[in-house]
Structure 1
Amino acid sequence: MIKRIWVLVWGIWLMLSSVQVFGQAGDPVYPPKNSDYLLLDKGLQYRITKSINSMYNFDFPTAERDFAVIMYQYPDHPLPDFLMALGYWWRIELDVTNTRYDDIFIQYLDRANEKAEEMFDENPKNKEAAFFLAAGYGFMGRLYSERKSWTKAAWAGRNALKYMDLSRGEAEFNPELLLGDALFNYFSVWIPENYPLLKPVMALFPKGNKQLGLQQLETVASNAFYTRVEAQYFLFRLYASEEKRPYDALRISEYLHSKFPNNPYFHRSYARHLYTVGRWTEAVEQSYEILNRIDNKQYGYESNSGRYAAFYVAEYHYRVGDRAEAKKYYLKTVAYGEESESQESGYYLHALIQLGKIETAAKNKAQAKKYFDRVKKYAKRNHPAHKEARDFIKKNKL
């Protein structure tokens, strides 16, 4: 329980501070001619637009060649190191249980933070330096919380919040900073609603407003230059889960997939939301495409995405009565789940249950019992899958 409380509390701090500095390509923001901030440089924004689009589309070699040029031109600025870190964050985002990129991600953020701190020491009123430090420490905190490094997450979260407050007051940055306000407004209400024990803790924070938070996220998603994609990312996740607005989640994920068609995270999210709203034909079409890309070893398409896609295909075939094809893709779901070490995931457990039912119908009770026993092994006793497995075994005398 203590660790859960830490996770939730730091969720607030980190949501407040996870200001992703760069987003989807769009019309560049034209800064005042006397602006000293590199982020507001018109020519650089044009170059960032191309590079960032490449990064979100998982063309990292192209993006990083551009980032290297910026690093050569601005060796003392945090921008290029932060851009490099951002590319590794999206590699991590595909499967947050994979620690392969943690070290290099933190190394680039450390370098970006060091350069931003030097800028800040030279001029404590430098809003751009504070902006980078808020973002850098925010991303560190997000990773450390995923890794259950609570002390490091706490330290990063406090720093992110401090520098976020210091970065306020520059008109050109306001649309970007609105993201932090939006996430705070939403989650400062959501956490005590879902975890009443944390109400005394949340009383220490300003009062939020969930609906205002959603409206602010929509504003950022429509109007911001730097933080647009990050806002869209949070929106479709909230609409899909907390807000029960699956068609809004589909609207956003469909747009992101069309804009960045080689981004596996957006691709599988699009397939998932098609499946959720019952657009089966399209969901299966996208799922087959994901599986084909995995078979063709397209970069970023791996077992985690395969687990989603294989499950949607299996469910479709099961519902139309094609048990042979359903079995084939449920087995693929299980295989991908084991490859990604996701045995406690809902798709993995449900695939085992469906396989058990298929084998029971085929009079292969011994094999069916093995599938249900695996459900009981990996699911917690209070999980619905565990109860379904127990009940099915008892009812069918397996």
Structure 2
Amino acid sequence: MKKLLHWAAAGLLMLAAALPASSELTLPPDVMQYATEGINGVYSLDFDTAQKNIERVFKDYPDHPFAHFGNAMIAWSRYEYEYELSDDRQRKVFEQILDESIAGIKRWIKQYPEDPNAYMGIGALYGLRAMFTMRNRSWITAYFSGRRAIKNLEKSLELDPTYYDAYFGLGIYQYYAGTLPSVIKILAKIVAIKGDPDEGVAQLNLAREKAHFTSDSAKLILIEIQNTRNSKYYAPQKSLEYIRQLRAKYPKNPLMHYVEIICLYETAHYDEVTEQAEDFLKLIGTDPFYKDIYISRAYTALGTVQMQKGNFEQARALFEQGQQAIKNQEPSRWGVWNEVRLGEVYDVLGAREKAKKQYRYVLSFDDKWGFDDLAKKLLQTPYAVPASRDVGPLPPQA
């Protein structure tokens, strides 16, 4: 299930650029300029620039689907990336804007019922609502939102069969609905959730190859799929190829930079992981797009790669440095994951009491990120490096 939650963390950010060809016929050049600058702002995580330009689109086209969709995606991206899903106030802002955006596109559809852009926009927003409510374990709401998403995306294709951008959302649904963990499959049967992961991957590749605006989004989701271990689609070298293409295209985006670090780790380029993670850390505080909240990401990479290489004393030092570096920050997903990893390192080094203290510390936080079950398990049974000597993927595993 965590994989389904992550598709918005990358793909939906890029889907903010999904402005279909039909809109090009109705938006005048100045609004197209604002829209393009807004899109570039989202790609670069420059949300103030993005918001300013989306507001200009609203001024000339008050209910245009692109304006509403862009506004919701900016709110989501702020919550996801600026606040690392850790700020309840920003979550409420996002929820309100999402509701208003869906209502606004519904008004547009009443005026322009044959506009595929509207069905694409509202379908994507229903998909975002499905993901968000699933993260909060509101399974029934997530199910009905997902159904509405698919219905609207299929409607956009009915109106324009060459609208390949719609295959992005459809591919996500087919793949993730078809790869639900067993714990969720009982619920899936009750509400008749069905998916075909092979069809989903094929649709995502179709979007990657032919979509006008979601080609890059499809690459990001395919990276996620191709980095999933024990999967028939596992192809991390291809993921590394895709992310290097995207970094070349969007060099200012720090999260593209970090995804490359993840792909380097998955392809066992461990020295390059250290080199790139150190560069990433140096950019925090000097580049305006590399935020302080990303510090824990850098230390996760630096510490985990030393674990993977068997250098647990070095890993301990790095995770402890990370702990100190973020001690004045609000808790975040990556920060708490660092605490889990530090506990595991203590266990390997034989410092069981320190490890247990770490796991109790993890349990002291609200379980926003799903680490409680792992922390409880580690309190009962000390962490040990698997016989394979593989300490697991770099990103948080919950």
Pairwise same-fold verdict (TM > 0.5): yes
In structure 1, the residue matched to 2:133 is 144
**Alpha carbons of 1:127 and 1:292: their partners in 2 closer, same or farther (altered >3 Å)?**
same
Question: Which residue identity lines up with residue 272 of structure 1 in the other structure?
Answer: I
Q: Does 1:92 align with 2:79?
A: yes
Aligned to 2:365: none
Report the counterpart of residue 351 of structure 1 in structure 2: 342
Which of 120, 126, 135 is the matching residue for 2:124? Answer: 135
The CA deviation at 1:239 is 1.0
1:22 matched to 2:37? The reply is no
Alignment equivalent of 2:171, drawn from 182, 188, 199: 182
User: 1:193 and 1:265, CA in 2 relative to 1: closer, same or farther beyond 3 A?
Assistant: same
Q: Which has the larger radius of gyration?
A: 1
1:236 to 219, 223, 228: 223
- Partner of 2:392 in structure 1? none
Mind listing any 5+ residue stretches in structure 1 that lack a counterpart? 361-367, 393-398
Q: Counterpart of 1:102?
A: 91
The answer as to 2:250 corresponding to 1:260 is yes
Distance 1:370 1:130, change over 3 A: same
Is the Cα–Cα contact under 8 Å of residues 352 and 382 in structure 2 kept in the other structure? Answer: no
One-letter amino acid of the counterpart of residue 251, structure 1: E
Q: Deviations over 1:213-266 (max 9, x none)?
A: 213212212321222233222111111114332212222223333332333332
Question: C-alpha distance in 1, partners of 2:108/2:309?
Answer: 62
1:139 deviates by 1.8
Q: Would the alpha carbon gap of residues 172 and 55 (structure 1) be closer, same or farther in structure 2, given more than 3 Å must change?
A: farther
- For these two proteins, the number of residue pairs brought into alignment is 364
Q: Which runs of 4+ in 1 moved over 6 A?
A: 318-324, 381-384
Amino acid at match of 1:255: Q
Letter aligned with residue 116 of structure 1: I
CA distance in 1, matches of 2:161, 2:16: 14
Q: Which residue of 2 aligns with 1:364?
A: none
- In structure 2, give the amino acid aligned to 1:153: A
**Alignment correspondent of 1:275:** 265
Distance in 1, Cα, partners of 2:25 & 2:376: 48
Distance in 1, matches of 2:180 and 2:278, equals 37
Q: C-alpha offsets along residues 118-169 of structure 1, whole Å, 9 cap, x if unaligned?
A: 2222344343332222122222232232233445434533433343343332
Partner residue in 1 for 2:39: 52
Q: Which amino acid aligns with 2:204?
A: L
Unaligned runs of 5+ in 2: 363-371, 386-398
2:65 aligned residue: 78
User: 2-side partners of 1:354 and 1:247: how far apart?
Assistant: 28
Provide the identity percentage.
19
CA distance in 2, matches of 1:240, 1:300: 24
Equivalent residue of 1:96, what SS? Answer: coil
How far off its partner does 1:391 sit? 7.1
Counterpart pick for 1:370 among 338, 348, 353: 353
RMSD after superposition: 4.0
Range with greater deviation from structure 2 (212-221 or 314-323): 314-323
CA–CA distance in structure 1, aligned partners of residues 313 and 182 of structure 2:
45
Look up the equivalent residue of 2:60 and give its one-letter code.
Answer: Q
Question: Shift of residue 348 of structure 1?
Answer: 3.3
Q: Corresponding residue for 2:295?
A: 306
Partner of 2:52: 65
5 Å-filtered alignment, 1:157-196, equals 157-171=146-160, 174-191=163-180
Give the TM-score, by structure 1 length. 0.74
Equivalent-residue separation in structure 1 for 2:314 and 2:14 (angstroms): 42
| Structure-2 change in CA distance of 1:156 and 1:210 (3 Å) | closer
Provide Cα deviations, 1:261-316, integer angstroms capped at 9, x if missing partner: 3333322221122122221232112211222233447345344x333321332355
**Aligned residue identity for 1:372:** A
Superposed, 1:323-342 pairs within 5 Å as 326-335=315-324, 336=326, 339-342=330-333
Task: Spell out, residue by residue over 1:66-97, the C-alpha distance to the aligned partner (whole angstroms, 9 max, x if none).
Answer: 22222222123232232122122222233234
User: Matched residues in 2 for 1:40 and 1:219: separation?
Assistant: 27
Partner of 2:396 in structure 1? none
